[in-house]
Amino acid sequence: MTTPSEPTLATQPEAQPGAPMTENTFIATAAGNDDPPAPIKGLRRLLWWIVPANLGIFLIWGAVPGILLPAQITEFDEPNKVVNLLIVTTIGSFASILAQPIAGQLSDRTRSRFGRRAPWIVLGSLAGGLALTGLAFADSLVGMVIAWTLVQISYNFAQGPLSAVMPDRVPLARRGTFAALSGIGLMVGALGGSIIGSMFLNSIAAGYIIFAVISLVTLTLFVIFNPDHSSVRIQPEPFRLVDFLRTFWVNPVKHPDFFWAFTGRLLLYTGYFAVTGYQFFILTDYLGVEDPATVIPILGLLSLVGILISTIISGPLSDRIGRRKPFIFGSSVFVGLAMIIPMVSPTIEAWMLMTFISGFGFGMFQAVDTALMSQVLPSAKSFAKDLGVVNIAATLPQTLAPAVAGGIVLGVGYIGLFPVGIVLSILGAFAVWPIKSSR
C-alpha cells in the first residue's frame, strides 16, 4: 500500500508555479517540452559523458552491418552475398523495430534505486556482447541470422533507455548542445566503427569481441559516473494488455508534431541508408575498387570531418537562435544533393566528395533532430517508449532500405539507388515544417 510520503504517478500533485520540479512530479505531469529536474552529478558531466556512451554502441552499428557482416557473408557464400545480406539484415532490423519500444515500455516502468534507465543500459550491453561473440563463431546462414538478431535486440534494449536521458535530465535550453555532443558520439562511433572494422577484415571474430568489450565498458562507466534519481518510490500505473499493444502507436491526430517528426526522420534515414548501406558493394561492383579496405578508412575520415564541422556548429547555434527546423531542412538538402555526384560520375573521387558532403548534412541532422524529437514527446511517463517508437524511424530504414535497395540493384543496378536516396531525403526535409512545438 502506498503511504502519503510515497507519491505515485496517479496521485502526485502538480508542481506549484516557480517551484523546482521533483522527479516524481516531473514523471507524473510533464511532457517533452518541459524542463526536468537537475541531474544528480551536474549537467556538464552528463553532457560530456554522452559522447563515449553513444560511441560504445555506434562503433558496433558502424563496423558490423556495413563492414564485418558483409565480409563474413562474402566469405561464407560469395555468389549469393547480396541475397544473404538482405536476409540477415532484414530479419535483424525487424527485430530491432520491435525491441526498442518494448525496451522503452519496460524501462519506463522500472523501479530501481539506480533509476529507470541504468539497469537496462548495462544489461543490454552485456547481452549484446554475448550475442556478438556468438556471431563471431557463426558458420551458417541460420546461425548468422540468429546471432545478428540477438545483437540487434540486446543493444536496442540498451540504446532505447539511453536515448531517454535527454528528456529525463536535460533542460530545453541545452538540448541542442546535448544533441550535438550525442551526435558526435553517434557519428564518430558509426564512422570510426567502419574505419576500425576495416582493419579486422582478416580477423572478423576478433573485431566482434573487441567491439563488444568497448561497448560494455563505456556504457557501464556512463551509468557509474552519471547516476540517475531513484525510481523506487515511483509506482507505475497498472499494467493493461491494451496499453501494451498500443506501444507501437502514437495517435497522429492527437499528437501531429510527433507524427511529422517521425515521418521526416523516416524519410531521410531511408534515403540515406538506401545508398550508404550498400557502400561495401558499391565500392567493389559499381566503382571497381579491388580492395575496399584501402579506401574505407579514408572515406570514414572524410565523412567524419564533415560531420564534426556541422555538428559542432549546428547544435549550439540552434540553442542560441532557438530554432531547429531550418537546420533539419538544410541537412536533408545536403544529403540529397550529395547523391547526385556519384550518379553522374561513377568514380572513387566522386564517391569521396559525396561522402564529405553527405556527412556534413547528416551531422547537421543528428545535431538538431534529436533535440527536436525530445520536444514532441507526449508524456514523461512514457519517454523511453515514445522515443522507441520515434527510433523506429531510424531502425525501420535498416529494414526497408536493404529490401528496397536490394531489389533496385538486382533490377537496374547500383545507379538506381541514387535517385531514390535524393527524393526521399528532400521529402524528409519538407516533413518537419508542420511541426508547431519547435521552430
- Cell numbers at residue 142, please? 541460420
CATH code for residues 38-226+253-431: 1.20.1250.20
244 pLDDT band, cuts 50/70/90, is low
Domain segments of the chain as ranges: 38-226+253-431
For residues 198-217, average pLDDT: 92
Q: What is the pLDDT of residue 427?
A: 87
- Is the CB of residue 268 less than 8 Å from the CB of residue 169? no
Q: Looking at the predicted structure, is the pLDDT value of residue 12 above 60? A: no
Report for 141-150, 296-305, 320-329: range of highest mean pLDDT = 141-150
Kindly report the pTM of this predicted structure. Answer: 0.72
Q: What is the pLDDT of residue 434?
A: 80
Q: What is the mean pLDDT of the chain?
A: 81
How far is residue 204's CA from residue 214's CA, in Å, rounded to a whole number? Answer: 16
**Range with the lowest mean pLDDT among 248-257, 359-368, 411-420?**
248-257
pLDDT (tens digit, 9 = 90+) per residue, 280-313?
788 888 888 888 878 888 888 888 888 888 888 8
DSSP type of residue 378: S
Element containing residue 49 per DSSP (H, E): helix 43-63
For residues 409-433, average pLDDT: 84
How far is residue 63's CA from residue 86's CA, in Å, rounded to a whole number? Answer: 17
For residues 184-202, average pLDDT: 83
pLDDT (tens digit, 9 = 90+) per residue, 356-389?
998 898 888 877 877 777 777 766 666 667 777 7
120 pLDDT band, cuts 50/70/90, is very high
Between 185 and 387, name the one with better pLDDT.
185
How far is residue 158's CA from residue 49's CA, in Å, rounded to a whole number? Answer: 15
For residues 376-405, average pLDDT: 68
**Helix-then-strand count for the chain, H and E:** 19, 0
For residues 48-62, average pLDDT: 92
